[in-house]
Amino acid sequence: MPQANAIDIRDITKVFGQGAEAVHALDHVSLAIREGEFFTLLGPSGCGKTTLLRLLAGFEQPTAGVIGLYGDDLAGLPPFRRPVNTVFQNYALFPHMTVAGNVAFGLEMQRWRRGDIERRVEEVLSLVKLAGYGQRKPAQLSGGQQQRVALARALANRPKVLLLDEPLSALDLKLRKEMQIELKRLQVETGITFVFVTHDQEEALTMSDRLAVMQDGKVLQVGTPAEIYERPTRRFVADFIGDTNFLQGVLGRAANGEIQIKLDVGGMVTTRHAEAHTEGERVTLAVRPERVDLEPVNAEAGEDTGRLRGVVETVVYFGTDTSYRINIDSLPEPVLVRVQNRQGAASPFASGDSVRLRIPPEAVQVLVD
Amino acid sequence: MSGRGGNPLWRFAGVRPAAALFFAYLYLPIVILIVLSFNANRTVTIWTGLTTDWYVEVLSNGDILRAARNSLIVAFSATFIATVAGTLAALGMARGRFRGEAAVNGVMGLPLVVPEIVTAVATLLFFILVGIKLGLLTVIIGHTVFCTPFAYLPIRARLEGMDPSLREAASDLYADAWRAFRRVTLPLLWPGILSGALLAFIISLDDFVITYFVAGAGATTLPVYIFGMIRIGVTPEVNALSSLMLLVSILFVSLSFLVQRQR
């Protein structure tokens, strides 16, 4: 049996404004979010990720397209009739109510019995580690605690899907790291489907089961963090997540499961994946800095495939690794290479040294565009 | 005010005396009025001793009590209508931008800048044209008109300062529009509504010009009554009555201020 989809987004378009001032916040977006997964919408501000979340919550209605929740069409359903709950970016706690009052609000609106409400509030407050804080007012809590109340208030209703709109962006770095772990724990413990919006690529990679990278109202790529990082299909995705070197070349013929690519800068590399392309096509390659090895230029090299000559421009020591910027003739941008530091070893290369870059086949990702 | 340096303006010679003079000019007459309201001598300029007789006289004067009753009826009615109208207007204006919003906002505040005498004459003319007999009702209608912007402004300001995501949060937590309003918007708006109402109340209580024009027989309010007494001469009763009105006004302004400050 295939895993059930919690949310089916089919061909959603959202246009704000009219005529010449119309803004396409979402442009034919389709996504399937599976039951019980931690799904992240990742992209820069203005990419449409928050708009998509607001469409799921019901604060906005789509201009075109269908949103299904466990097969039910959500069209026209106001927020208060949707079995989903939201954690707002600024928490949006009711300042005139106590913490317990805030958490109980949704249950009261659903006409739970008083005793059940009290029990549930206790339960959820201890779930977010705020047991005993029920009688405080939100203003008496720290930012991190307010964040937990916002989570508790949403989780109390046992939503089918929890929507989180950049909930960690207001916290300082240390607290943010803590809450990342906390959120992940809550998601695993409750088994609730999380849809998480963020512009922080590291957050997206570390927390998500799967993520969608968005730009200009479009979904560019959907996949697991490893898929997105290792196999980006678009230049924007490769560039937005982590550091990437881009090289241009022409696709050659395939042999032994490896496809040769003749680089514009001279030299050859091979890759194992170029399904979307045919021989003779011009392609852009994405190469992660840590997948490239450096060799001294005088080393016995064998054949030249997968090797490029360059000159070290800068060396930056990062503790766990060392980062090199390598100038290659006729490349406008230096190539970034990151080498993990071995025990006790100082950098074998200095600025001005001639080096060879070894780019193994698995380091080469051919982009779709 | 804080620290050794304080306001740099204090460096200039004459700032202190000028400020003192200004406040003296503003408040000294009022202080004198209050002091004289306790003067035992009927002649204003001669101090003979302390008495509260004038207050007793004021509070046992049937005409004054009737005028006070009228003032309160007018103030409460006008305040109620103006506050309800102001609240609805503020809620409506906060719903979203629309064509002509700036114009509507301007018109809403217009009663604050139109010279009162113009409003008074126009209102009187209107009542005569429509054929409404002048009385307490016409005073109430007149007061409602100029009280509404005073009630509206603090409510609007409060609403403007309210996080719009609070309403969304209520709606997200299964509250329909009415319950979101009752449980979230209204409690948060309450201080604004109360302070708007209190402001409207004192404005109504103090009004003379419009009341003088549109009050029919038997609809005399306290300010109009005081004006009538003054024409005969400034008596200690006038001082006592004015002091009482001042007390009520200060009470309401302080209340409004306190309510506004609390969250």
CATH of the domain at A139: 3.40.50.300
Side by side, which strands form the sheet with A5-16?
A23-34, A5-16, A64-69, A72-73
Choose among B172, B176, B184: nearest Cβ to A85.
Answer: B172
Q: Which residues fall within 8 angstroms of residue B66, CB to CB, at 6 or more apart? A: B220
- pLDDT tens per residue across span A13-34: 999 988 888 889 999 999 999 9
ipTM: 0.84
Least confident piece of the model among B19-23, B33-37, B122-126: B33-37
Q: Do B38 and B69 lie in a common domain?
A: no
* Nearest partner of B253 among B212, B200, B215, B209, judged by Cα: B200
Q: Which residues of A touch B171 (CB under 8 A)?
A: 58-59, 78-80
Give the integer Cα–Cα distance in Å for A200 and A168. Answer: 10
Give the pair of three-digit tokens for residue B261: 């400050």
- Please give the distance of CA A214 from its chain centroid, rounded to a whole number: 9
Instruction: Give the pLDDT mean for A190-206.
Output: 94
Residue B134 resides in a domain? yes
Please report how many Cα atoms fall inside a 13 Å half-sphere around the Cα of residue B33, on the Cβ side. 17
Residue B165 resides in a domain? yes
Q: pLDDT: is B202 or A39 the higher one?
A: A39
Q: Do B210 and B114 lie in a common domain?
A: yes
Residue B238 resides in a domain? yes
DSSP three-state, residue B235: coil
> Cβ of B2: how many Cβ atoms within 10 Å?
6
Residue pair A308/A359 in contact by the 8 Å Cβ criterion:
yes
Residue B3 resides in a domain? no
Give the pair of three-digit tokens for residue B43: 């002649």
Instruction: Give the pLDDT mean for A225-250.
Output: 92
Q: Do B43 and B84 lie in a common domain?
A: no
Give the integer Cα–Cα distance in Å for A24 and A47. Answer: 10
Residue B5 resides in a domain? no
pLDDT of A3 strictly over 70? no
Closest-CA residue in chain B for A86? B172
Q: Do B33 and B142 lie in a common domain?
A: no
- The helix (run of H) or strand (run of E) holding residue A326 is strand A321-327
Q: B186 — contact with chain A (CB < 8 Å)?
A: no
The last residue of one of the domains, among A238, A261, A284, is A238
CATH number at residue B107: 1.10.3720.10
Least confident piece of the model among A44-53, A126-135, A259-268: A259-268
Long-range pairs for A332-337: beta carbons < 8 A, 24 or more residues apart: A333/A245, A335/A245, A335/A287, A335/A289, A335/A292, A335/A308, A335/A310, A336/A243, A336/A245, A336/A289, A337/A289, A337/A292, A337/A294
Q: Do A43 and A78 lie in a common domain?
A: yes
Choose among A89, A96, A109: nearest Cβ to B173.
Answer: A109
A95:B176 CB<8 A: no
pLDDT of A36 strictly over 50? yes
State residue A74's pLDDT score.
92
Q: Do A230 and A263 lie in a common domain?
A: no
Q: B179 — contact with chain A (CB < 8 Å)?
A: yes
Domain residue limits at B232: 62-261
Give the integer Cα–Cα distance in Å for A102 and A119. Answer: 14
Q: What are the Cα distances from residue B130, in Å, to B105, B162, B212, B252, B255?
A: 28, 42, 19, 35, 39
- Please give the distance of CA A56 from its chain centroid, rounded to a whole number: 18
Q: Do A209 and A256 lie in a common domain?
A: no
- For the CA atoms of A297, A320, A338, A233, what is the dihedral angle to 10 degrees? 150
| For chain A, percent of residues with pLDDT exceeding 90 | 64
The last residue of one of the domains, among A238, A271, A296, is A238
User: What residues does B121 pair with on adjacent strands?
Assistant: none
Q: Do A140 and A170 lie in a common domain?
A: yes
Q: pLDDT: is A347 or A112 the higher one?
A: A112
Q: Do B223 and B255 lie in a common domain?
A: yes
State residue B1's pLDDT score.
43
Closest-CA residue in chain B for A155? B173
Q: B163 — contact with chain A (CB < 8 Å)?
A: yes
Q: What are the Cα distances from residue A88, in Å, to A197, B145, B166?
A: 10, 41, 9
Average pLDDT over chain B, rounded to an integer = 88
User: What residues does A217 pair with on adjacent strands?
Assistant: none
Give the pair of three-digit tokens for residue A311: 């000159």
Instruction: Give the pLDDT mean for A101-127.
Output: 95
Q: Which of A88, A89, A111, A160 should be substituted to probe chain B, the one whose Cβ sees the most B Cβ atoms within 10 Å?
A: A88
Give the integer Cα–Cα distance in Å for A171 and A145. Answer: 10
Please report how many Cα atoms fall inside a 13 Å half-sphere around the Cα of residue B157, on the Cβ side. 14
Instruction: Give the pLDDT mean for A226-232.
Output: 93
Q: Do A218 and A344 lie in a common domain?
A: no
Q: Which of A55, A56, A84, A86 should be substituted to probe chain B, the one whose Cβ sees the most B Cβ atoms within 10 Å?
A: A86
Query: Chain B: nearest CA to A61, how far in angstroms?
Result: 14
DSSP three-state, residue A160: coil
B174:A88 CB<8 A: no
The size of the A-B interface in CB pairs under 8 A is 62
Structural domain count, chain B: 2
- Please give the distance of CA A183 from its chain centroid, rounded to a whole number: 15
Q: Do A140 and A267 lie in a common domain?
A: no
- pLDDT tens per residue across span A356-369: 888 988 889 999 87
Instruction: Give the pLDDT mean for A160-180.
Output: 90
Give the pair of three-digit tokens for residue B108: 């809403």
> pLDDT band at residue B233, thresholds of 50, 70 and 90?
confident
Give the integer Cα–Cα distance in Å for B103 and B97. Answer: 12
State residue A344's pLDDT score.
67
Give the integer Cα–Cα distance in Å for B256 and B263. Answer: 13
Q: Do B195 and B232 lie in a common domain?
A: yes
Q: Do B169 and B119 lie in a common domain?
A: yes
pLDDT of A35 strictly over 90? yes
Give the integer Cα–Cα distance in Å for B102 and B153. Answer: 15
Q: Which residues of A touch B179 (CB under 8 A)?
A: 109
Residue B4 resides in a domain? no
Q: Do B151 and B34 lie in a common domain?
A: no
CATH number at residue A286: 2.40.50.140
For A104-138, letters b (16+ CB in 10 Å) and e give bbbbbbeebeeeebeebbeebbebbebeebbeebb
Instruction: Give the pLDDT mean for A279-283.
Output: 87
Phi, psi of B137 (to 5 degrees): -60, -45
State residue A254's pLDDT score.
80
For B79-90, letters b (16+ CB in 10 Å) and e give bbbbbebbbebb
Give the integer Cα–Cα distance in Å for A91 and A82. Answer: 19
* Nearest partner of A213 among A192, A235, A187, A191, judged by Cα: A235
Give helix A99-109 / helix A143-155 axis angle, nearest 10°: 20
Give the pair of three-digit tokens for residue B241: 């009555």
State residue A348's pLDDT score.
82
Q: Do A233 and A257 lie in a common domain?
A: no
* Nearest partner of A317 among A343, A289, A353, A347, judged by Cα: A347
- The helix (run of H) or strand (run of E) holding residue B93 is helix B62-94
Closest-CA residue in chain A for B166? A92
> pLDDT band at residue A302, thresholds of 50, 70 and 90?
low
pLDDT of B2 strictly over 80? no
Residue B241 resides in a domain? yes
Q: Do B130 and B198 lie in a common domain?
A: yes
Q: Which of B171, B172, B263 should be substituted to probe chain A, the one whose Cβ sees the most A Cβ atoms within 10 Å?
A: B172
Rounded CA Rg of chain A: 25
Give the integer Cα–Cα distance in Å for A86 and A106. Answer: 11
Q: Do B112 and B88 lie in a common domain?
A: yes
* Nearest partner of A155 among B175, B170, B173, judged by Cα: B173
The last residue of one of the domains, among A182, A203, A238, is A238
> Cβ of A18: how many Cβ atoms within 10 Å?
7
pLDDT of B87 strictly over 70? yes
Residue pair A253/A324 in contact by the 8 Å Cβ criterion:
no
Side by side, which strands form the sheet with A321-327?
A293-296, A354-358, A307-317, A321-327, A335-340
Q: What angle do CA A57, A58, A64 make, to 5 degrees?
A: 115
Q: Do B36 and B105 lie in a common domain?
A: no
Residue B231 resides in a domain? yes
pLDDT of B59 strictly over 70? yes
Q: A110 — contact with chain B (CB < 8 Å)?
A: yes
pLDDT of B5 strictly over 80? no
State residue A1's pLDDT score.
39
Q: Do A270 and A174 lie in a common domain?
A: no
Q: What is the DSSP letter of B183?
A: I
DSSP three-state, residue A27: strand
Q: Do A234 and A284 lie in a common domain?
A: no
Choose among B165, B175, B188: nearest Cβ to A109.
Answer: B175
A86:B179 CB<8 A: no
User: What residues does B256 pair with on adjacent strands?
Assistant: none
Q: Do A323 and A286 lie in a common domain?
A: yes
Structural domain count, chain A: 2
Q: Do A32 and A165 lie in a common domain?
A: yes
State residue A340's pLDDT score.
87
Q: A85 — contact with chain B (CB < 8 Å)?
A: yes
Q: Do A201 and A317 lie in a common domain?
A: no
- pLDDT tens per residue across span A322-358: 999 999 887 888 999 999 887 666 778 888 888 888 8
Q: pLDDT: is A196 or B40 the higher one?
A: A196
Q: Do B110 and B227 lie in a common domain?
A: yes
Domain residue limits at A41: 5-238
Q: What are the Cα distances from residue A121, in Å, to A45, A156, B218?
A: 35, 7, 61
Instruction: Give the pLDDT mean for B56-80.
Output: 92
